[in-house]
Amino acid sequence: MKIAVCVKQVPDATVHKRLDPATNRLDRSGEGALNATDVNAVEEALRLKEASGGEVVVLSLGPEKAMDSLRKALAMGADRAVLVSDDAAAGSDLVATSRALAMALEREEADLVLFGQQSSDGDGAVLWAAVSDRLRRPMVSQVAELTVDGDAVKGKRQTEFGYDVIAAPLPAVVAVSDAINEPRYPSLKGIMGAKSKPQEVVSLADLGVDPGDVGESGSRTTVRAVAPPPAKSGQVKIEDDGSGAEKIVDYLAEKRLI
C-alpha cells in the first residue's frame, strides 16, 4: 500500500510568532519544525507500513527550507519526501493550497492520504476536506483509531456526540487526531539515513498548476487589518485566607452568574 502523508513546516515552538507587517503573513524566517500533530500522521503511516508493507511518502507545500522539517519524517522511517515549493505559491489560502496539494497528490496516486489534526501556526483544521473534494475521494477526519482491511479503511471518528465508526473504500483520505498514537522518536541511525533518502523539490510548473491559481492571486480570502486584542480589565486576584469560597460566591452573585 502506498501512503502519502501531508505535513507542514511551522515555526518552532520556541520562536516568537509574528506577522510580517508588510504582508500580514506569518513571518517564517525563524527556526522551523514539523507540525506536531502531523507527526501523529507520519507515525500512523509507518505503523500501517510495518504491518502490511508498502511505501510512505511525505508531501508538503512550503518554502525550500521546509525540507529540513520533512527530513524529520524521513528520520522516523518515511521513504521519501516531496516538497512543492514555488515563490508563486506564497500566501496561498485554503482554496489555493488545496489545489496545489491535490495536484501533487494526483501525481503520487497513493492508496491512502493522511493528514494530522491541526496546524499550529494557522490553527487550520480543514485542509483534508478541501483536498478530498478535489481528489473526489471518500474522507474521514478526527480519526482516533484506524484500521486498514484489504481495500477499505475503518476509522473511529471522535465528535462532540461520541464516536462514529466510519468505513470507506480505498483510495481514501483520512485525517487523524493526535489521540491516535504516541509517535516514535527518530533513532540516530534513522537521522543519519534520512540524508540519503530521496528528497524531491517540485515547482508548480512540474505539477501543471497555473501560478495564477495559487498564491494571493489564487486565494479568495484576505487580511484587512491586524490589531492587538483588547486588554482585559477589572481582573481581581486574591490570596485565600479561609474566606476564598465566600469571596467567589459574592463575586458570582454580583455578576449575576448565580
Partner 1 sequence: MSTLVFLETHDGEPTKGGLGLLSKAAALGAGDVSAVVLGTGVRDAAAQAGAHGASRVYVVEDDALAAPLPQPRVDALEAVVAESGAENVLFAASVLAADVASGLAARLEAGLNWDLTDLRVDGGELVGTRPALGDTVLVDVGWTSTPRIGLVRSGTFDPVETGGTAEVQEVSATFREFSTQARLVDHLQEESSGPSIEEADVIVAGGRGLGGPEGFSMCEELASALGGAVAATRAVVDAGWYPYSAQVGQTGKTVSPKLYIALGISGAIQHKVGMQGSGTIVAINKDPNAPIFDFADLGVVGDLAQIAPKLTELLRARQ
Residue closer to partner 1 (CB basis): 50 or 106 = 106
Q: Tell the smallest beta-carbon distance from residue 70 to partner 1 (Å).
A: 22
Q: Tell the smallest beta-carbon distance from residue 201 to partner 1 (Å).
A: 25
Q: Tell the smallest beta-carbon distance from residue 79 to partner 1 (Å).
A: 27
**How far is residue 222's CA from residue 71's CA, in Å, rounded to a whole number?**
32
**How far is residue 235's CA from residue 185's CA, in Å, rounded to a whole number?**
43
Q: Which amino acid is at 101?
A: L
| Element (DSSP H or E) covering residue 145 | strand 139-149
**How far is residue 211's CA from residue 87's CA, in Å, rounded to a whole number?**
9
Residue 72, CA distances (Å) to 34, 40, 44, 162, 184 in order? 7, 12, 15, 34, 11
Q: Tell the smallest beta-carbon distance from residue 244 to partner 1 (Å).
A: 5
Cell 493550497 -> residue: 97
Residue closer to partner 1 (CB basis): 180 or 194 = 180
Residue 19 gets which letter from DSSP? B
Residue 38 gets which letter from DSSP? H
Residue closer to partner 1 (CB basis): 158 or 199 = 158
Residue closer to partner 1 (CB basis): 25 or 195 = 25
Residue closer to partner 1 (CB basis): 42 or 194 = 42
Q: Tell the smallest beta-carbon distance from residue 254 to partner 1 (Å).
A: 10
Q: Which amino acid is at 192?
A: M
Residue closer to partner 1 (CB basis): 26 or 191 = 26
Q: Tell the smallest beta-carbon distance from residue 197 to partner 1 (Å).
A: 29
Residue 9, CA distances (Å) to 78, 248, 250 in order? 16, 44, 48
